[in-house]
Amino acid sequence: MLKGRTMARRKRSEHYVNNKEFLAALIRYREDVEIARLQDKTKPVIPRYIGECFLKIANHLSFKPNFVNYMFKEDMISDGIENCVQYIHNFDPAKSKNPFAYFTQIIHYAFLRRISREKRQLEIKNKILEKSGYSEVFDDSNQIDGTTHSEYNSIKDAVHSKLRN
């Protein structure tokens, strides 16, 4: 190391969700829910900050390599957020101080369920096409929506290969 020169310290990157603030917000929300329950009032609305955390976690998780190339990414994100809202009451701060990990897992499994559902729908569509026969789908000029039979088969083969992966 040269005298007089100091190495620049690498600035620590900020996490997109601060786990301590997220935990504090969840604890406050649980307290509000308990107070409302004791007073026979309706359950309070989930605070905006907690909702933003759910959205950030879902958006960032959707850019992971195993989720990035799906056409229905918005549906995956929506399912993840919906499941977080649905299961927010199951998070127990006494058992875990890491809500980020807890809700990331919820969103991850919501993504997997959406992918599975979409694959099933695609399989159903393909079975219907195969059972109905291609002659009903294609007109006399051997075209469907402007694409030829060979183009359709290449698209279908690509879809089948994606299903196998």
On the question of pLDDT at 125 being above 90, the answer is no
**pLDDT tier, 129 (very low <50, low <70, confident <90, very high otherwise):** confident
Residue 63 belongs to a domain: yes
In a domain, residue 13? The reply is no
Specify the pTM: 0.71
Give the chain's domain count: 1
* Whole-angstrom distance, CA of residue 54 vs CA of residue 50: 6
* Residue 73 falls inside a structural domain: yes
User: Domain for residue 143, yes or no?
Assistant: no
Whether 45 is covered by a domain: the verdict is yes
CB count within 10 Å of CB 25 equals 19
Give domain status of residue 28, yes or no.
Answer: yes
**Longest CA pairwise span in the chain (Å):** 83
Of 6-15, 34-43, 86-95, 130-139, give the lowest mean pLDDT range: 6-15
Structural domain harbouring 64: 19-117
- Residue 135 in any domain: the answer is no
36 domain residue, yes or no: yes
CA-CA distances (angstroms) from residue 57 to 29, 54, 60, 108? 19, 5, 5, 10
